[in-house]
Amino acid sequence: MNTIKPAADVVLHASEILNASILVVDDQEANVMLLEQMLRNEGYTNITTTQLPREVEALHRANRFDLILLDLQMPEMDGFEVIDMLKGIETGGYLPVLVITAQPGHKLRALKAGAKDFVSKPFDLVEVQTRIHNMLEVRLLYRKLADHNRVLEQTVLDRTAELRQSEARFQRFTELSSDWYWEQDAEGQLTQFSGPVHEMLGIGADSAQGAGWNANERAALDAKIADRLPFLDFIYTRTAPNGNVQYLSVSGEPMFDAASRFTGYRGVGVDVTDRMKRS
């Protein structure tokens, strides 16, 4: 089966073109019969015709034709009036109209009015067939691509919602399993945290290096962070002015973006003073 591939994810089958919905609008019965027979000989199956231009609005609202073959010179309501009427239906701005005219001066006017292409009377059947096929191909690809993009957009929204739920579960889990959770950027500034991370863990670029922290332990932790190394249950201490020693256990891992650039750290911390004093 022949296929047309504008992109890897959007495929148009030849049968889709032949099954496209087509409306023929011409006040002359002979012209209507000629165009309909030509379309059926080419294999098109979904064809509607009318000799009454005032029927076009209702027909298009009901069927949203993929292509409208429209004669410009008709009594009571000409093709330009039909085009203006169709603009009220196709609010997206695309008019699937191929005009039919015997007046050369009408071609440019029709294109400016919104028609997508034209054929001249008397008909050159090969030209008519080619222009119809090309218009339908573009129209159907446009629709399929739009549908494809809507599916992708909805997929992104769904995945984003799933990620947010997952992040919420992760954050809740870390809150239940630890005393503090934090994230910091590449410069060491806290970006997200729960609990008094700054004062209890001394995390952050502007954290005080005094305040009773064990200098050697803090230097070892800072070295791990500087080397972008993960650390698990790293225990360090600080001594309060009254002499009480506080033991803190911290775990963290570096974060990198899709280009492998370092973006910061995230981790959890637990006060293990009671556990350490009992051991």
> 3-state DSSP: the chain helix, strand, coil percent, rounded to 5?
45, 25, 30
**3-state SS, residue 262:** strand
How much is the pLDDT for 93?
Answer: 67
Containing 188, the helix (H) or strand (E) segment is none
How much is the pLDDT for 213?
Answer: 83
Q: Any idea what DSSP says for residue 21?
A: E
Contacts of the segment 74-78: beta carbons below 8 A, 24+ positions apart = 74/25, 74/26, 74/27, 75/27, 77/53, 78/53
How much is the pLDDT for 121?
Answer: 81
Q: Is this prediction's pTM over 0.85?
A: no
- Give the pLDDT means over successive 10-residue stretches in the chain (279 positions): 51 87 94 93 95 94 93 89 89 82 81 84 86 89 77 77 70 61 87 72 54 85 90 89 88 91 89 85
Query: How many CA atoms within 13 Å lie on the side-chain side of 88?
Result: 8
How much is the pLDDT for 169?
Answer: 64
Helix pair 29-41, 125-177: axis angle to 10 deg: 60
Q: Which residues contact 34 (CB under 8 A, 6 or more apart)?
A: 123
**Domains in the chain, start-ordered, CATH in brackets?**
3-151 (3.40.50.2300), 178-278 (3.30.450.20)
Q: Any idea what DSSP says for residue 8?
A: T
**3-state SS, residue 102:** coil
